[in-house]
Amino acid sequence: MNTKEILSQKGLRPTIQRIKVYEYLLTHRTHPDVENIYNDLKKEIPTISRTTIYNTLKELVKNGLVLEIPTEYKLCFDGYMQNHSHFICEVCGKIFDLNLDLKFKENKISDHIIKSFCVMFKGICINCQRKEKK
């Protein structure tokens, strides 16, 4: 299924903005925020606004196509929808995907039923560790 078909299936009219924002997230596994997406997309669509991007992202989140990652620094978005965890660097603020193999007994923790998860780890990323040593 292409992006257009996925949007239509969710009942979203496949407008150029929706397609571009969604495709941006699918091709950039960098957990961008509105500003990052805006800076890249305005080169292609000069009329696009931050508000449009923000509203589009919210729609995509609501329809389960995109993940919202609120951090203390900024609000980031992720088009990678498999269960995965994140590591956030407290120095540079970058978010990295962690594919940890978290397994639960009968998909339960303390008798709560687990449907999905996203664990957030915090620390100093490998790049910033290298910089600190210098």
Pairwise CA distance, residues 77 & 61, whole Å: 9
Distance between CA atoms of residues 31 and 110, nearest Å? 31
Q: Segment 77-106, which members bind Zn ion (CB under 5 A)?
A: 78, 80, 89, 91-92, 97
Q: Does 68 sit near Zn ion (CB under 5 A)?
A: no
User: Min. distance of Cβ 26 from Zn ion in angstroms?
Assistant: 12
In this complex, which beta carbon is closest to Zn ion, that of residue 18 or of residue 86? 86
Q: Is 51 exposed, middle or buried (0-12, 13-18, 19+ CB in 10 A)?
A: exposed
Stretch that binds Zn ion, among 4-12, 18-26, 100-108, 122-130 (CB under 5 A): 122-130
CA–chain centroid gap for 104, Å, is 24
- Give the interface with Zn ion as residue ranges (CB under 5 A): 78, 80, 89, 91-92, 97, 125, 128
